[in-house]
A and B are shown apart, each in its own frame.
Chain A
Amino acid sequence: MKIAYYPGCTLKTDAKKFEESAIKVFKILDIELIELKKWYCCGTVYSLTKDNLMYRLAAIRNLIKAKEEGYDRLTTLCSVCYNTLKQANEMARNDKEAMNKINSFMDEEIDYDGSVEIIHPLEILKEDKIREKVKKPLNKKYASYYGCLLLRPKSIAIDEFENPRIMERIIEACGGKAINFPLKNECCGSYIVASDKQAVAERCYRIVSNARRNGADAIITSCPLCHFNLNEIQEEVKRNYTSFSGLPVLYFSEIMLEALEG
């Protein structure tokens, strides 16, 4: 199977290992992620104000690019890109008035009507296929951290938004033990890290400690921003709470690769 892939800025730099491991994992599972020939920044977490559609143009332009390249399905690894593209696409499908304005503004491009389907890579993976391909079963306990943008708003949720299980099922298919922890869908503090690092350190402390208390050896995620806030910010947490002992934070594709490559 082939599917169009939108990388976004961070997958090409800070989260390179996310992209590299995911492409390999999908290849092993006979899914080819084909990068769009041309793409722009998705316009991440654009302003939600009702009266300004300009912020949504970037996302819509990427969807048009996918369409122009002949795709009707598009996937993206970063949770923030996923949320941005998916919400813009929902608007394209449901708000005719807004789309008329946007389409007439973007004069040189084809009109967009929401016909590309945005799908998260976690939704494509099939557990039985993974089981078949596992070479070295995982032998650790993992906490699946979803954060916000894979689950909310409800209209874009990749799974049940209060108690998602999609990553847990993948961990188990790879032979690992999936532990449950109640803070798995609580926000990590997101971009607040740029204005108030201490506020995010508090989030990091609570989430990582909670995963630890529930027996996790590591946390997995699908978001480069969650990864940064839960991983790098642990240094800050250690300064604030001397008894804090952290946990490794990995992308879901990294642990999958470990199991599949053997």
Chain B
Amino acid sequence: MLAEKVEELSGENIYACYQCGKCSAGCPMAEQMDFLPNQVILLILRGNEEVIDSKTPWICAQCYQCGTRCPKNVDITKIMEALRAIKLRKNVDYIKMRFKKNLPQIAVVSAARKYTG
């Protein structure tokens, strides 16, 4: 089951979420997303697998804003990580890590961490 898988990978209790939307309100990447962070949680709870192919976990910058502000202490940062892991563990990299000129090392290494399995 999707919710169980996400809980196992993230260590977070997604059932604690009461859909207040505070995570989405403060998310700096929200306008680039196809599903907002609180919607992602709702989709997982409903077992809607569409969320795995969503753009949201890949555009999440892992900034910890959502989890820091969540009144129910749900760390959505880790939930986004879990969704990425479901894909990456199938040995599918999100981007091709070739030499990227004009980017500082820290951007390349961090991207490799989050976008490749």
Partners in one complex: yes
Most buried by A among B29, B103, B104: B104
Check B106–A192 contact: CB distance below 8 A. Answer: no
Binds B, one of A6-14, A24-32, A127-135: A6-14
**In the complex, A224 Cα to B32 Cα: how many Å?**
24
**In the complex, A196 Cα to B94 Cα: how many Å?**
12
Q: Which of B9, B11, B95 contacts A195 (CB 8 A)?
A: B95
Check B63–A148 contact: CB distance below 8 A. Answer: yes
Binds B, one of A43-51, A110-118, A166-174, A252-260: A43-51
Residue A193 CB within 8 A of the other chain: yes
Check A191–B78 contact: CB distance below 8 A. Answer: no
**In the complex, A78 Cα to B59 Cα: how many Å?**
23
Check A191–B61 contact: CB distance below 8 A. Answer: yes
**In the complex, A43 Cα to B105 Cα: how many Å?**
12
Q: Which of B10, B77, B109 contacts A44 (CB 8 A)?
A: B109
Q: Which of A9, A154, A189 contacts B28 (CB 8 A)?
A: A189
| Residue of A with least CB distance to B75 | A153
**In the complex, A80 Cα to B104 Cα: how many Å?**
13
Q: What residues of B have a CB within 8 angstroms of the CB of A60 in the complex?
A: none
Q: What residues of B have a CB within 8 angstroms of the CB of A45 in the complex?
A: 62, 110, 113-114
Check B77–A187 contact: CB distance below 8 A. Answer: no
* 8 A Cβ contacts from B73-117 to A: 75, 77-78, 81-82, 85, 94-95, 100, 102-111, 113-115
What number of residue pairs across chains A and B have CB atoms under 8 A from each other? 128
Residue B15 CB within 8 A of the other chain: no
Most buried by B among A10, A51, A192: A192
| Residue of B with least CB distance to A191 | B110
Q: A194-B103, A224-B104 are in contact. List 19 more A-B contacts (CB 8 A).
A: A13-B105, A45-B110, A47-B114, A48-B77, A48-B81, A50-B10, A51-B9, A78-B106, A148-B65, A187-B63, A190-B62, A190-B110, A191-B111, A191-B114, A193-B103, A194-B100, A194-B115, A196-B32, A196-B59
Interchain residue pairs with CB less than 8 A apart (15): A9-B109, A13-B105, A45-B110, A45-B113, A47-B85, A49-B85, A50-B78, A80-B106, A152-B65, A189-B61, A190-B110, A193-B111, A194-B100, A225-B106, A228-B106
Chain B positions near chain A (C-beta within 8 angstroms): 8-11, 28-29, 31-32, 58-59, 61-65, 67-68, 75, 77-78, 81-82, 85, 94-95, 100, 102-111, 113-115
Chain A positions near chain B (C-beta within 8 angstroms): 8-10, 13-15, 41, 43-51, 55, 78, 80, 147-148, 152-154, 161, 186-187, 189-196, 199, 202-203, 224-225, 228, 232
